[in-house]
Amino acid sequence: MPLVVLGCFLNQSCICQSNTQVIKEFKKPNIIFFMVDDMGWMDSEVYGSKYYNTPNITRLAKMGKRFTRAYAANALCSPTRASILSGKHPGRFSLTTPAGHLPPNPNDDLSPEKGESWMKMACPGSRTFMPLEEFTIAEALKTNGYKTGHIGKWHLGHEAYWPEKQGFDVNIGGGHHPGPPNFFSPFSISTLPNHKDKEYITDRITDEALMFLENNKDTPFFLNFWQFAVHAPYQAPLNLINKYKQKNDPRGKQNNPIMGGMIEKMDESLGRMLDKLEELNLIDNTIIVFFSDNGGNMYDVVNGDFPTNNYPLRFGKGNIHEGGIRVPCIISWKGEIQPNTVSDELIQSMDFYPTFLEVTKTKANPNQLLDGISLIETLKNDKPLKREAIYSHFPHYFPVTHNVPSTAVWYKNYKLIKEYGEGRNRSDAFKLYDLKKDIGETTDISLQYPELVAKLSKMVENHVIEIGGLLPVKNPDYNPDAESKMGKTYDFPIDKYPSY
Those residues whose C-beta lies under 8 Å from the C-beta of residue 13, and which sit 6 or more positions away, are 25
Helix axes 201-215, 257-279, angle to 10 degrees: 10
Can you say whether the dihedral through the CA atoms of 174, 175, 179, 184 is positive or negative? negative
What is residue 303's predicted lDDT score, i.e. its pLDDT? 85
- C-beta of residue 68 within 8 angstroms of C-beta of residue 328: no
Residue 126, Cβ density class (10 Å: 0-12 exposed, 13-18 middle, ≥19 buried):
buried
Q: Give the largest CA-CA distance in the chain.
A: 86
Report the phi/psi class of residue 349: left, alpha or beta, with left for phi > 0 and alpha for psi in -120 to 50: alpha
Residue whose C-alpha is closest to residue 154's, from 131, 178, 135, 138:
178
What is residue 426's predicted lDDT score, i.e. its pLDDT? 87
What is residue 7's predicted lDDT score, i.e. its pLDDT? 34
* Cα angle for residues 388, 71, 90 (degrees, 5° grid): 85
Residue type, 319: N
Neighbours of 30 (CB within 10 A): 23
What's the rounded Cα separation, in Å, for the pair 500 and 494? 7
What is residue 482's predicted lDDT score, i.e. its pLDDT? 86
Residue type, 251: R
Measure Cα distances from 263 to 78, 258, 322, 413 in Å.
21, 9, 21, 31
Residues forming a β-bridge with 148: 222
Q: Which residues of the chain fall below pLDDT 70? A: 1-24, 485-500
What is residue 119's predicted lDDT score, i.e. its pLDDT? 94
